Amino acid sequence: MRRDDPSRLLMVAGIGTAAVSVGIVLVGIGRHAGYNVAAALLTLLTALFGYCAWNLSTHRRLEEIQRTQLLARLRQLPAAELRIAAVPSEEAVRFARELLDVFIEAEWPAQGVYRASQGSAGDSGLSLAVNDRDYPPDEANSLLLALSEFGLQTTKSTKPIAHSGALELLVGRRET
């Protein structure tokens, strides 16, 4: 985890507010009831910081260096028609949009983000669909390798796609 990671900053803020809350309770023993109210409010703020940090830490995102390197790698590969779909999950759709932006910036003919079909709604992780799993286009193998180079483990699957050389990248739920 990077030093400037938002979830880390929220955790540090949570620890800070917890320490201040304990200090206020200790100072306020036997004094005005306002100290207890302030301590209770800081405790609630600590819980809020913790929840926000947890929520941020469970969302996939491309780090800036990972994004830059993936972009450079995609520009080296032969571009293929790509359709990006995501399962109905806010986190998956957000990550799919982030990937779509990278593909478009790399000048790939990418489209999306489409809603994944019902059969794939339980999928997790990334999956690259091709017409023929046994004889995928070279672009599919190159893309699978490029994604795995940058920590985006992607499985290969089969799905009827209108254009034989087209690919579909399915963004599933985050693997736990």
* pLDDT for position 121: 44
The residues spanned by each domain of the chain are 6-57, 64-171
Cα–Cα dist 71/65, whole Å: 10
pLDDT, tens only, 7-38 = 667 777 778 787 777 777 777 777 777 777 77
- Answer yes or no: are the C-beta atoms of 124 and 175 closer than 8 Å: yes
Closest CA to 46 of 20, 80, 75: 20
Nearest in space to 102 (alpha carbons), one of 138, 77, 132, 72: 72
Which top CATH class is 64-171? alpha beta
Q: What is the pLDDT of residues 102-121, one digit of tens each?
A: 999 999 998 888 888 755 54
pLDDT in tens, 63-108: 888 889 999 999 999 888 899 998 888 888 898 999 999 999 999 9
> What is the bridge-based pairing of β-strands 126-130 and 167-171?
antiparallel
- Whether 3 shows a pLDDT value over 60: the answer reads no
Give the separation between CA 150 and CA 147, rounded to whole angstroms: 5
